[in-house]
Structure 1
Amino acid sequence: MKHRNPIKSWAEAAPRLIGVAAGREPADLVILDGVWVNVHTREALAGHDIAIADGRFAYCGPDASHCIGENTEVIEAQGLYMVPGLCDAHMHIESGMLTPAQFARAVIPHGTTTMFTDPHEIANVLGLRGVKLMHDEALLQPINIFTQMPSCAPSAPGLETTGHEITPEDVAEAMTWPGIIGLGEMMNFPGVIAGDSKMLAEIAATQNAGKTVGGHYASPDLGPAFHAYAAGGPADDHEGTCEADAMARVRQGMRAMMRLGSAWYDVERQITAITEQGLDPRNFILCTDDSHSGTLVREGHMNRVVTHAIACGCDPLVALQMATINTATHFGLERELGSIAPGRRADVILTSDLRTLPIHGVLARGQPVAVAGEISVDCPHLAWPDDVRATVHLGKHLAAEDFAIAAPEGANRVRARVIGVVENQAPTKALSAELPVADGRVSGDERRDICQIALVERHRGTGGVVNGFVSGFGYRGRMAIASTVAHDSHHMIVVGTDRDMMAAAANRLGEVGGGITVWKDGAELALVELPIAGLMSDAPAEDVAASAERMVHAMADCGCRLNNAYMQHSLLALVVIPELRISDLGLVDVSRFELTDLFEPEGG
């Protein structure tokens, strides 16, 4: 698969770039009288021009009049800031519930011109084939979408079952693909710490290819385990949640990726490593990780992260470095993108204010791609095969009894382990609660905000259902919400207060081929159809966001008041982030990386 509109390499473009800069040849496009935001020197230089040829910057200086010919397009910046296109250093396209083409279409008007994506969601469902489909559609886009080869499917071997597994041989093959930039986040950090041969083989294949290894150390332990993980080769980490985490990572030679997604608010607590502790900001990077389609449509993308960092006290030019040149440098692309400088890809934002970053215009590879918040370029789609739209295999019609939790024989009350949701953070809490027994069945307790959770196997049609309890959503009445977006194994998560509703919600997703559905009092309140791998839609972001908005309102109608509660819902099976999760194999104690019983022993 090749780029639909490939940009010439520097070597191919160099003779013309030199000619334009010298005034011997005319530029394709010149932007006059702007404020050049130079992220190499951290300066904003008024009264400067930039000239573009063959999709790259040829001249950046005080007067580009010598680059203008009869057919040169001229844009009068009239004092607007000329900012490098924004780069998202770590993100999952599938979290937007959109295909790469639709995701690109959604973020281009916000000034994002480069993304480093880890499609490990689709890898869990479709394996290497799914990664290749994402990679191929990424190469068709008018902006730069680089793919990281997923490293961990399953994310924690022995604790979950995926639709497909990723092997070191898969990683080695992917490293030969044109759009692969490195290895996706190494989530199996216990495996790396233990010197697991499979994990180390994947890291070695990546490093042998001269590419970047992504990190994922989701533990507060900064002792020997953290140091062992750093020695294992990951070059970055986005799982930090506090200042100490950020400082520890950069001191070990890793880049600290600070994320602001739809539900992860980790920038404010880490950016003080720069603003108060004075650490070198060139080792810090901004990213989103997971952005809901509604966030993209209503709030923005990387522009949202940059302005948030500024609001947290970061100098605007430092914040822009962390979303441009720092990212490019990290992935070995400093000479290719991430700045407005000769030879680089001509990715530019025009804005009137560096603090609030209104996006007046966007150029990618020297071509206008958005004006005043409206996209002005096509984002081509692949023809997604029919079989990737039929990936929900329940094996049977589910009934309320499948969601019944049998009490230990003779018990009147039980003490159960409960997954505790933490608002705006990925980790959960391992809670414990005494629950009532009626007719031999254990139920939740609405008064204490404890309801049921179930993991329904959907890859192989086994009919398997694992049941447990969760707290923190605030649900009331007879309701259920089901989703085939269930990081990272992407079975089906069902949360509810009523077993009949839970069965109805699960069966509904089996009918439509995946997505999210909310039920209350016997009726469906909202449905978001995600037919591609049960994870994505190829409908426009605005349409998906509208469906998702109805889902959010439906969750609120059921009593939920959490910020971006759906993102929390989708992570309840993520068995690599502490403390307690659910998988198709049972309840998982992530602090110990082992399966655990739903009921605590008497006296325990």
Structure 2
Amino acid sequence: MLNLEKNIDTALKMKKADLVLKNGSIINVFTQDIEKGDIAISGDVIVGIGDYSGEEEIDCSGYFISSGFIDSHVHIESSKLIPENYSRLLINRGITACIADPHEIVNVYGAEGIKFMIESGRRGPIDIFYMIPSSVPAVDFEDSGAVLRASDLVQFIGNENVRGLGEVMNVQGVLSKDEDTLKKLKLFNSANMPIDGHAPQVSSIDLNAYTSCRIRTDHETSDIDEALTKIMRGMYILIRHGTAAKNLKSLIPAVKENNYNRFCFCTDDKDVVDLVHKGSIDYNIKLAISMGLDPIKAITLATLNAAQCYRLMWRGAVAPGYRADLVIFNSLKDINVKQVIKDGKLYKDVGETDIKINLPPSMNINYIHEEVFRVKAKSKKINVIQSIPHSLITKRVVKEIEAKDGYVERVYPGNVLKIGVFERHKNTGRYSIGYVEGLEIKELAVAQSIAHDSHNIIVIGDNDKDMTIAVNALIAIGGGIVTVSKGEVIGDLSLPIAGLMSCEDSKIVAQKVEELYRIVMEHGDKNSLFLSLSFLSLPVISELKITTRGLYNVVENRFIDLFDIN
């Protein structure tokens, strides 16, 4: 509750402010100017800009002050950290709030996963708001650990940590008026809550139908024309720069004086190593500035625009009445954060809290045998997934095979690897085997329980023995990542929470992931193997993906046989 009397007295200088940031260069996102002066804070609210004295004062001479940065769309699980530890990492980068979609853990645990993320997030220093997943599973034929119907979402309406409905990936479900999809849309529309979109390369007439459901954002836009079309239809474009998908460089030229208020920044999926060494939204701001975007506009995308998009009232600006979440940094070019004010207080890291996890094991699968990787040769040509560097998009290509004893011995030309996906939630025994090129590793198998969005086991390698060992070792450690070479496990990372996250400190997790990076790079990887691999099973982004039920052609909206080359 605002203490209006105290705030008024402080603003009128009848009382000293609790905290004053003195002599700063204040980023004014309303006027797109820089204002010199003091910032007076009462409790967790800014009450004045001008000349003030306080019980505590911080000299900000030579420094810039902005509202705290906001990540407008992120899957925290992709960092491999639980929310409270993720939060501690981000605040030191100037991020004071984020809009998270927990559909990774929800695909494993359902509604209990949402509750876990909310409670863990509350224990961290930044404000984590959640968009309730709309597509669990992403498509009806997926083998996820849970199914979330519209009736399951009602319990989260009114939760203070919930902002709206998460990315509506099932575009065809919207256009075909799928009953449960429309129930979810109606539920959040009735509550007047934001709804996130996920609509890559959707045509104009389909976009009309999609946005008529009051879906307001898109983070899958990859080119200028697409971005401008969606803005014309009233959408916000969330400019993504994560670990695997990087659209910022292609989209920044679309940001103009007449439309910059319709853009925000997001990371979507960013690995802990990238977060530790490069940063989060602070990195997006720096990169945009380096490409010629006006620094104040770049900061506006990361503050006011994000707050307005998600109706985060009284956030995103440095002005009286706004929340005192502030970032102090030394340069408009580098955005190197010196200090962060959160809820009106100078943030000081208090270290880890006692972390308690009350979730069951998630690796419900029996050990596998090497024979499952054998593929019968039906013809001389075969469908192969072509992975595109730094993109979630894949292509379908046709390759030649060599057979031995009736089974595929080799796929050529190029470095073509075998890939497999195994259901791990309900021990159904369902799996499929295929082939992929573009992931340039040799003499190595990699298995992981991170495979968007259903998060079954996904494995690649150049020989069946190592792939078998990798999958079985992954099951044994309760999920995570395993690397195998020449019959030996040479690296692993245990992620016991849903097979996606660790309770360990971000620096420890980052060190372990860096060791895995070293291993795969020694074996030829150049393109963020782990994140790229994790998206090869996501059957909502073109063109060809692999699921537990086989190869799926997203463009044609159907499963295809490995040897169906028509």
TM-score past 0.5 threshold: yes
Distance 1:381 1:57, change over 3 A: farther
Q: Which of 480, 484, 495 is the equivalent residue of 1:515?
A: 480
Alignment of 1:378-397 (within 5 A): 378=351, 380=353, 382-387=355-360, 390-394=361-365, 396-397=366-367
Q: Which of 34, 47, 50 is the equivalent residue of 1:44?
A: 34
Pair 1:153-2:139 in alignment: no
Pair 1:359-2:329 in alignment: no
Deviation for aligned residue 1:560: 1.7
Pair 1:240-2:221 in alignment: yes
In 1, Cα distance between the equivalents of 2:413 and 2:521? 17
Identity of aligned residues (%): 31
Q: Which of 182, 197, 200 is the equivalent residue of 1:215?
A: 197
Match of 1:600 in 2: 564
Match of 1:373 in 2: none
Distance 1:298 1:90, change over 3 A: same
The one-letter code sitting in structure 1 at the alignment partner of 2:214 is G
In 1, Cα distance between the equivalents of 2:442 and 2:355? 42
Deviation for aligned residue 1:512: 0.6
Match of 1:341 in 2: 319
Deviation for aligned residue 1:597: 1.2
Deviation for aligned residue 1:381: 5.7
Deviation for aligned residue 1:80: 0.7
Deviation for aligned residue 1:507: 0.5
Deviation for aligned residue 1:445: 3.5
Q: Which of 133, 139, 143 is the equivalent residue of 2:126?
A: 143
Report SS of the residue matched to 1:192. helix
Deviation readout 1:388-416 (Å, 9 max, x if unpaired): xx11111x2211111111222xx5x3x11
In 2, Cα distance between the equivalents of 1:37 and 1:108? 19
Report SS of the residue matched to 2:124. coil
In 2, Cα distance between the equivalents of 1:508 and 1:591? 35
The one-letter code sitting in structure 1 at the alignment partner of 2:382 is A
Q: Which of 527, 535, 551 is the equivalent residue of 2:492?
A: 527
Match of 1:180 in 2: 162
Q: Which of 135, 138, 144 is the equivalent residue of 1:162?
A: 144
Unaligned runs of 5+ in 2: none
Deviation for aligned residue 1:577: 0.6
Deviation for aligned residue 1:265: 1.4
Deviation readout 1:471-516 (Å, 9 max, x if unpaired): 1011223x21001010100001001111111110000111110001
Match of 2:438 in 1: 472
Match of 2:231 in 1: 250
Moved more, 324-333 or 459-468: 459-468
In 1, Cα distance between the equivalents of 2:409 and 2:253? 44
Contact between 2:45 and 2:322, CA under 8 Å: does it hold in 1? yes
Match of 1:117 in 2: 100
Match of 1:273 in 2: 254
Pair 1:449-2:430 in alignment: no
In 2, Cα distance between the equivalents of 1:521 and 1:465? 24
In 1, Cα distance between the equivalents of 2:548 and 2:429? 11
In 2, Cα distance between the equivalents of 1:94 and 1:80? 34
Contact between 2:88 and 2:125, CA under 8 Å: does it hold in 1? no
Distance 1:127 1:444, change over 3 A: farther
Alignment of 1:394-413 (within 5 A): 394=365, 396-408=366-378, 411=379, 413=380
In 1, Cα distance between the equivalents of 2:452 and 2:4? 45
Match of 1:286 in 2: 265
The one-letter code sitting in structure 2 at the alignment partner of 1:508 is A
Moved more, 516-525 or 445-454: 445-454
Q: Which of 25, 30, 34 is the equivalent residue of 2:15?
A: 25
Report SS of the residue matched to 1:270. helix
Contact between 1:172 and 1:202, CA under 8 Å: does it hold in 2? no
In 1, Cα distance between the equivalents of 2:189 and 2:32? 31
Contact between 2:355 and 2:503, CA under 8 Å: does it hold in 1? no
In 1, Cα distance between the equivalents of 2:231 and 2:410? 44
Q: Which of 430, 437, 440 is the equivalent residue of 2:403?
A: 437
Deviation for aligned residue 1:140: 2.5
In 2, Cα distance between the equivalents of 1:268 and 1:474? 25
The one-letter code sitting in structure 1 at the alignment partner of 2:104 is E
What is the TM-score with the length of structure 1 in the denominator? 0.91
Deviation for aligned residue 1:557: 2.2
Alignment of 1:368-383 (within 5 A): 368-369=346-347, 376-378=349-351, 380=353, 382-383=355-356
Report SS of the residue matched to 1:183. strand
Contact between 2:25 and 2:35, CA under 8 Å: does it hold in 1? yes
Deviation for aligned residue 1:252: 0.3
In 2, Cα distance between the equivalents of 1:96 and 1:550? 16
- What is the aligned length? 566
Alignment of 1:49-88 (within 5 A): 49-61=38-50, 63-65=51-53, 68=54, 72-88=55-71
Match of 1:486 in 2: 451
Q: Which of 300, 303, 307 is the equivalent residue of 1:324?
A: 303
Pair 1:205-2:187 in alignment: yes
Q: Which of 457, 462, 467 is the equivalent residue of 1:497?
A: 462
Distance 1:136 1:501, change over 3 A: same
Match of 1:6 in 2: none
Deviation for aligned residue 1:15: 2.5
Moved more, 92-101 or 518-527: 518-527
Q: Which of 521, 535, 550 is the equivalent residue of 1:556?
A: 521
Match of 1:14 in 2: 4
Moved more, 108-117 or 13-22: 13-22
In 1, Cα distance between the equivalents of 2:373 and 2:157? 43
The one-letter code sitting in structure 2 at the alignment partner of 1:33 is N
In 1, Cα distance between the equivalents of 2:103 and 2:308? 24
Pair 1:96-2:79 in alignment: yes
Match of 2:547 in 1: 583
Match of 1:307 in 2: 286
Contact between 2:388 and 2:438, CA under 8 Å: does it hold in 1? yes
In 1, Cα distance between the equivalents of 2:524 and 2:158? 50
The one-letter code sitting in structure 1 at the alignment partner of 2:49 is C
Match of 1:295 in 2: 274
In 1, Cα distance between the equivalents of 2:5 and 2:406? 80
Report SS of the residue matched to 2:265. strand
Deviation readout 1:133-154 (Å, 9 max, x if unpaired): 1012212222211111111001
The one-letter code sitting in structure 2 at the alignment partner of 1:358 is N
Deviation for aligned residue 1:368: 1.5
In 2, Cα distance between the equivalents of 1:444 and 1:247? 45
Contact between 2:78 and 2:271, CA under 8 Å: does it hold in 1? yes
In 1, Cα distance between the equivalents of 2:369 and 2:112? 33
Match of 1:3 in 2: none
Deviation readout 1:526-558 (Å, 9 max, x if unpaired): 111111010000101111111111111111222
What is the TM-score with the length of structure 2 in the denominator? 0.97
Contact between 2:399 and 2:413, CA under 8 Å: does it hold in 1? no
Contact between 2:400 and 2:412, CA under 8 Å: does it hold in 1? no
Report SS of the residue matched to 1:360. strand
Contact between 1:88 and 1:288, CA under 8 Å: does it hold in 2? yes
Moved more, 435-444 or 75-84: 435-444
The one-letter code sitting in structure 2 at the alignment partner of 1:313 is G
Deviation for aligned residue 1:84: 0.9
The one-letter code sitting in structure 1 at the alignment partner of 2:210 is Y
